């Protein structure tokens, strides 16, 4: 982006695509020249915007987040990221591709919690079938046959 001498362009670092979206909204108020890439207002209903990209809920000290723009569910405890469940959504099915727990938090059942909350979220929505690509997610579904109706059948 060409600039004139004396113009300072702030550098914004972000850890995930969700943070990038939030940074663009904040930066939008700082930009004098409006750009279609910088979001300064909420999108009309039915279109994506930062407000609709991340949903979260708190239960017993845990914060469960669906970061739609990063295609992942996250589980945080005491402000620290403890577990992540990556997914790919094609509009009809959702493939749960990888469950990962930060090594220092392993052995405490956090991966099971994030999978359980993700499955509960998908059951509540009721518009997707699940393909368990990750071995851990497949084992979780084997241990919880009451959720088998959510799995995609061939």
Q: What is the pTM of this model?
A: 0.63
Which pLDDT value is given to residue 59?
64
Say if CB 96 and CB 87 are below 8 A apart.
yes
- Measured in Å, how far apart are the chain's first and last C-alpha atoms? 50
Q: Is residue 53 within a helix (H) or strand (E), and if so which, with residue range?
A: helix 50-53
Do 94 and 101 form a contact (C-beta atoms < 8 A)?
A: no
Query: Measured between alpha carbons, how far is 121 from 28 in angstroms, rounded to an integer?
Result: 32
Residues 90-127 have pLDDT tens digits of 989 999 999 999 999 999 999 999 999 999 999 999 99
pLDDT-derived band of residue 82, with 50, 70 and 90 as boundaries?
Answer: very high
Q: Is 147 helix (H, G, I), strand (E, B) or coil?
A: helix
Measure CA 63 to chain center.
12
Is residue 29 pLDDT above 90, yes or no?
A: no
CATH top-level class of 49-150: alpha beta
Mean pLDDT of the chain: 77
For the chain, which residues make up each domain, given as ranges? 1-41, 49-150
Residues 71-80, mean pLDDT to the nearest whole number: 93
61's CB contacts (< 8 A; 6+ apart) are 77, 78
Task: Tell me the mean pLDDT in the region 25-34.
Answer: 46
Tell whether the model's pLDDT for residue 143 goes beyond 50.
Answer: yes
> Token pair of 8, please?
């300072």
- Across the range 28-41, mean pLDDT stands at 47
Residue 11, SS3 per DSSP: coil
Query: Hey, what's the torsion of the CAs at 41, 27, 18, 55, to 10 degrees?
Result: -40
């Amino acid at each position: 982006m060409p600039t004139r001498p004396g113009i300072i362009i702030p550098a914004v670092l972000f850890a995930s695509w969700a943070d990038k979206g939030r940074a663009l909204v904040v930066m939008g108020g700082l930009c004098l020249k409006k750009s279609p890439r910088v979001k300064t207002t909420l999108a009309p209903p039915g279109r994506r915007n930062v407000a609709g990209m991340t949903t979260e809920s708190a239960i017993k000290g845990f914060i469960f987040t669906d970061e739609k723009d990063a295609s992942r569910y996250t589980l945080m405890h005491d402000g620290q990221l403890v577990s992540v469940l990556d997914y790919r959504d094609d509009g009809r099915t959702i493939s749960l591709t990888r469950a990962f727990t930060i090594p220092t938090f392993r052995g405490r059942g956090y991966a099971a919690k994030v999978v359980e909350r993700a499955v509960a979220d998908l059951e509540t929505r009721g518009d997707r079938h699940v393909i368990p690509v990750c071995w851990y997610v497949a084992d979780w579904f084997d241990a919880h046959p009451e959720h088998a109706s959510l799995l995609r059948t061939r």
